[in-house]
């Protein structure tokens, strides 16, 4: 419930985590996804991948308090696009997030940021047909 004090505290913690995430690397991750999106837009045929890259940049910019869910309206073309994405770029991105997440989880302070990288793995593997929702 919005009026509950614990909810306000959770929002405050999420805000602080998002600001720290942004300062300590989240901005550069989001920038990388945005640059990839621009390149995809320039190649015209890959515009759907550009849209997905911008969605990933948006999510990577402010991950705490949000999650990604499958969009039930997307069908076979999203699945085919995800297969192509997985082969070309997805597994590399997921591997980078996995290595970074494990490295961050080694330290107690880095655990929340490691969890954020773990949350980015599914969207980096299959970005098409997903939408960002508030937790």
| pLDDT score, position 114 | 92
Percent helix, strand, coil in the chain (nearest 5)?
Answer: 75, 5, 20
Give the model confidence (pLDDT) of 94-108 as tens digits.
Answer: 999 999 999 999 999
Ranges under pLDDT 50 in the chain = 1
- With contact defined as beta carbons under 8 Å apart, do 61 and 25 qualify? no
The structure's pTM equals: 0.82
């Amino acid at each position: 419930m919005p009026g509950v004090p614990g909810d306000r505290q959770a929002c405050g913690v999420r805000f602080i985590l998002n600001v720290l995430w942004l300062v300590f690397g989240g901005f550069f991750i989001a920038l990388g996804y945005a640059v990839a999106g621009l390149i995809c837009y320039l190649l015209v045929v890959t515009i759907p991948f550009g849209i997905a890259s911008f969605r990933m940049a948006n999510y990577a910019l402010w991950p705490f308090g949000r999650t990604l869910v499958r969009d039930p309206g997307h069908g076979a073309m999203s699945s085919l696009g995800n297969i192509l994405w997985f082969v070309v770029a997805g597994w590399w991105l997921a591997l980078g997030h996995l290595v970074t997440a494990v490295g961050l989880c080694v330290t107690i302070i880095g655990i929340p940021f490691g969890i954020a990288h773990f949350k980015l793995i599914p969207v980096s593997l299959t970005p098409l047909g997903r939408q960002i929702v508030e937790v």
